[in-house]
Amino acid sequence: MTSSDARVRDPGNNATSRQSAVSIDVPFLPVLQKLGSLDRSHIEAHLLRLEAADRQMRFCGMVSDQSICTYSEQIDWSETNVLWCFVDGELRGMAELKVAGFAATAELAITVEQSFQNKGIGTALLRRMLTIARNRFVARVYIICVLENRRMQQVARKLQADLVFREGEVEGSIWPSVPTYLSLIEEASMDGQALWRAIFGISPKAEHR
């Protein structure tokens, strides 16, 4: 899309209110942790389990199993942060934040398997990923999704996203706050858990069983 594309502001959003508290309504306790390069197989398995419609909304088009395998293998971990959501020992949701160097903007994508949608997992992943973004002084996190992806738009609205509607797609923008001592501690805890798993070779299933 070019800057000449027509834009229609979503009247249901207030761009001046950038951040708000979010309540997570889930009937279970989701476990949110960071993924690393050693967890490629979990990423691949999760994306392969997505229903056809969810795959299309995640990648803005139909993709084959082979394309998903290639995508998982080619993740650039130098600029990509990945969070997973485990429920009862299985990876059910994932968020990816791509920050290139010290860029002021970052791209975010979230996937949740169909049976676990509408349970607050997407909101939990988005909130936690915004903590990671603010700790990197990211000024703007944007989410691009197809027009039919109403669920992702609802999740973005919960964090006071400013939605811009273009032909066939929606772009949501969220402006994280500056880092705080608590936000740094929150991410350090996630890093410590990931490092512990890597050092001792603890599988996610064994850890959360």
What pairs with residue 67 in β-bridges? none
Evaluate whether residue 144 is within a structural domain. yes
Evaluate whether residue 173 is within a structural domain. yes
Domain range for 71:
27-195
Q: Write the pLDDT tens digit of every residue in 168-186.
A: 889 999 999 898 898 888 8
Residue ranges, the chain, pLDDT below 50: 1-28, 206-209
Question: What's the CATH number where 143 sits?
Answer: 3.40.630.30
CB 120 within 8 A of CB 24: yes
**Tally of domains within the chain:** 1
Evaluate whether residue 162 is within a structural domain. yes
Evaluate whether residue 84 is within a structural domain. yes
What is the pLDDT, as a whole number, of residue 85?
87
Evaluate whether residue 89 is within a structural domain. yes
Evaluate whether residue 7 is within a structural domain. no
CB 29 within 8 A of CB 186: no
Evaluate whether residue 87 is within a structural domain. yes
C-alpha distances out from residue 92 to 42, 49, 101, 104, Å: 10, 9, 29, 30
Evaluate whether residue 17 is within a structural domain. no
The whole model's pTM is what?
A: 0.73
